[in-house]
Amino acid sequence: GGKRVRRQEEPCALCFQMERVIVSMQDPDMGMKMRNQRLLITVIPHAMTGNDIIEWLVQKYSITEEEALHMGNLIVRHGYIYPLKDPRTLILKPDETLYRFQFQSSFFYHSNFISLIFLSDKAIYLAKKNIRKQGELIDYEKQNYNHLHKRINHTWDFVLMQAREQLRAAKQRRRADRIVLECQEQAYWLVNRPPVSAPRRLSLYCEQYQLHDPIMRGCRPSNPWITDDTMYWSMNSDMVSVPAKLRVERWSFSFTELLSDTLGRREFMQYLEKEFSAENLCFWEACEDIRHGENSKITQKVNDVHTQFLAPGASRWVNIDSKTMEKTLQGIKNPHRFVLDDAQMHIYFLMKKDSYPRYLKSDLYKNMLAKAIVPQETKKSVFPFMRRQRRSSPSPALVP
Amino acid sequence: MLEHLERMVLLAGERRQHECKTMLDALNRVTACYRHLVITLGSTSDSQNLREELRKTRKKAQELAAANRTKLTALLKDKSISKEDRSEYERLWVLFTSSMELLDVDMKRSLEIGQDFPLQVPTRHLIQTGMSGSTTTVAARAMSVQNMKYEADSNIDTADLKELEAEIAQVVQMMEEMEMKVQVAPWAVEAKQEAGAELKSTVSVVRLQGDNPKHTSCCCCFGSFSGGWEWWCACRDSSVLGRGCDRG
């Protein structure tokens, strides 16, 4: 069993820390000293240099410059602060490069990336940019635009209507504020993750995950990085026969949690087989395989999916509405990585709304929860933010 | 005589569509303004005035939402309208629900940030984002007035929050009711504007499809809009034409 990377979101403790730092920086007496940014005729307040930031961190937290640089880089990478001149380079430069705070410039409350609002928001942003730049979007922006246009085509009229109106609303602001808004929005989409904008929202999310966060609660039996005992990893590896209780609990947090855990997904498949709707999950998996798989195999895979799941009389026919089916069958004639997106999404939500809640109430899940284990702690875990002696493990790179 | 009557019916239909579109345009405008105001919360441009602007804009949005919903649901329930008209109303319906989703999300954000940034508390510092101007003209645009009038008490930043919470619950409930009562599958709708249409200064709203589109929303399925796409097919027959069936 290998290392278990902890979800795609950041550990809660880290976000908490960063958020507190940002708020401290706003203190009128003890916070950051702001500078003005001068752009030809416009002056925009609230700018700070990379040097300013590092100096402040060093003083405030009594840390070394190296540590401050590291912390500062984390803060920039997470989008709390963004560079003004070179927005695509999300690093903190220890020089006169200017930065500014970003705060909830665009947002959504769904931590689930599949949320339609997230997609609409992004599409609206790109459409606005398209208008402002008169069609001159950068390559990857054009790609994103076209991809979104296919993916949420049914709501495209709304996207364009809203884009135009948002631009008109922005015109009501003075020029300096307009510039800030544009830069903020761009910075946000470059970081491209849900902003940790409100401590309350964060605290709700963190409350749920707090018991599950190995940094906050310690790992059981022990943190492998401290004790060199890899039991924690092997116990939580993909296909153990008896999983940890915390892990099984997480399956009830969201459908995504269940699906992204190999064991959870296998359990769910078992359940669906009992319900005679396993073809849904099989179809979903096949679509994922196409989305993330090799280019050269796409055509073959799409055809296989068609034969198995979509063609009339298919052995594992999936129940998609006729309009999506029609659109998909048409699209399959020119197969590409995303051609099954609509159909996949339909099946995803079918499972999420229908089978998933029933699975959580099922005996299969309840039994799994009952037999899941809570390992004994072998060593008191140390709160990681305190300084401690690090023992270096023998590096595999060392030549004997 | 028959021709004349037919023409009258057509004109009435066109007028209805036009009214719908106008109301939707208004809702769209207010939604965009509200979004703009919400973005300003918690930053150095935040103020008691902003909180009042948010409140007023929100109320306006709700009025427009109710009006749009009433009109569109009545039209979608009308079984006598032509297939072409129906597909157009379904398109307008998707426009409407998309606006509502955005409003819903923005209202929730406005509640959370409003709670976390009460303006009277000296220890809660606003985030220095570089914005410093006011949003009064944005709000005026939403309200379709020349200038905003500020009448609220100086504690509106906290006083309004309870009402906001209640209104969010109302919006959520309304959207759930809409899902149950109106049978439109969101992805059965085709946008009229193609990619890049925003670059044309006057957008010609031309039908992209040639023939009558086949309506294939299952009469037993409910298009669900609260999270976006979710929908749940209760029956296995997904090829019933959208005329409503006995089970519906």
Distance (Å) from the C-alpha of residue B149 to the closest C-alpha of chain A? 17
A126 burial (CB, 10 Å; 0-12 / 13-18 / 19+) is buried
Each residue of A305-317: pLDDT tens digit?
Answer: 999 999 999 999 9
Within a domain: residue B205? no
The pLDDT value given to residue B207: 27
Of B188, B190, B199, the CB nearest to A130: B199
- Spell out where chain A has E strands: 35-39, 42-49, 81-83, 98-101
**Does B217 score more than 60 pLDDT?**
no
The CATH number linked to B53 is 1.20.58.70
Of B45, B216, B228, the CB nearest to A116: B228
Greatest C-alpha distance within chain A: 73
**Does B93 score more than 70 pLDDT?**
yes
Within a domain: residue B234? no
* Helix (H/G/I), strand (E/B), else coil: A253: coil
Within a domain: residue B134? yes
A189-219 exposure pattern, b = at least 16 Cβ within 10 A, e = fewer: bebeebbbbbbebbeebbeebeebbbbbebb
State the ipTM, two decimals: 0.78
Average pLDDT on B166-178 reads: 90
Distance (Å) from the C-alpha of residue B245 to the closest C-alpha of chain A? 16
Within a domain: residue B225? no
Residue, of A376 and B51, whose pLDDT is higher: B51
The pLDDT value given to residue A180: 93
Say if CB B64 and CB B30 are below 8 A apart: yes
Distinct helix (H) and strand (E) counts, chain A: 20, 4
Question: Cα dihedral sign for B92, B227, A140, A93?
Answer: positive
Of A46, A117, A199, the CB nearest to B101: A117
Amino acid identity of A269? M
The pLDDT value given to residue A237: 72
Report the DSSP beta bridge partners of residue B136: none
pTM: 0.62
Categorize the per-residue pLDDT at B125 as very low, low, confident or very high, splitting at 50, 70 and 90: confident
Within a domain: residue B218? no
Q: Which residue range is the domain that position B184 belongs to?
A: 2-188
Sequence-ordered list of residues with C-beta below 8 angstroms from that of B212, at least 6 positions apart, any chain: B83, B84, B87
DSSP annotation of A10:
P
The span from the CA of B92 to the CA of A270, in Å, is 42
Q: A221 preceded by cis ω (within 30°)?
A: yes
Residue, of B97 and A188, whose pLDDT is higher: B97
Sequence-ordered list of residues with C-beta below 8 angstroms from that of B176, at least 6 positions apart, any chain: B226
Distance (Å) from the C-alpha of residue B229 to the closest C-alpha of chain A? 7
Number of domains making up chain B: 1
CB of A329 less than 8 A from some CB of B:
no
Say if CB B104 and CB B172 are below 8 A apart: yes
The pLDDT value given to residue A287: 92
Distance (Å) from the C-alpha of residue A149 to the closest C-alpha of chain B? 7
Sequence-ordered list of residues with C-beta below 8 angstroms from that of A247, at least 6 positions apart, any chain: A236, A261, A263, A372
CB of A116 less than 8 A from some CB of B:
yes
> Are B105 and A349 within 8 A, CB to CB?
no
Return the half-sphere exposure (C-beta side, CA atoms, 13 A cut-off) of residue A361: 4
The span from the CA of B224 to the CA of A191, in Å, is 30
Within a domain: residue B27? yes
The pLDDT value given to residue A194: 37
Sequence-ordered list of residues with C-beta below 8 angstroms from that of A234, at least 6 positions apart, any chain: A1, A240
Within a domain: residue B20? yes
> Are A109 and B109 within 8 A, CB to CB?
yes
**Does B120 score more than 90 pLDDT?**
no
Say if CB A112 and CB A119 are below 8 A apart: no
Say if CB B131 and CB A180 are below 8 A apart: yes
**In Å, how far are A236, A327, A338, B222, B234 from B185, measured between CA atoms?**
41, 14, 21, 7, 14
- Stretches in chain A below the pLDDT threshold 70: 1-16, 104-116, 192-228, 232, 377-400
Other Cβ atoms less than 10 A from the Cβ of B199: the count is 13
Structure tokens given for B49: 């005035």
Residue A100 dihedral angles phi and psi, to the nearest 5°: -145, 155
Within a domain: residue B236? no
> Are A321 and B95 within 8 A, CB to CB?
no
Instruction: State chain B's mean pLDDT as an integer.
Output: 78
Query: Which ranges in chain B belong to alpha helices (H)?
Result: 2-40, 48-77, 83-116, 136-143, 156-181
The pLDDT value given to residue A209: 57
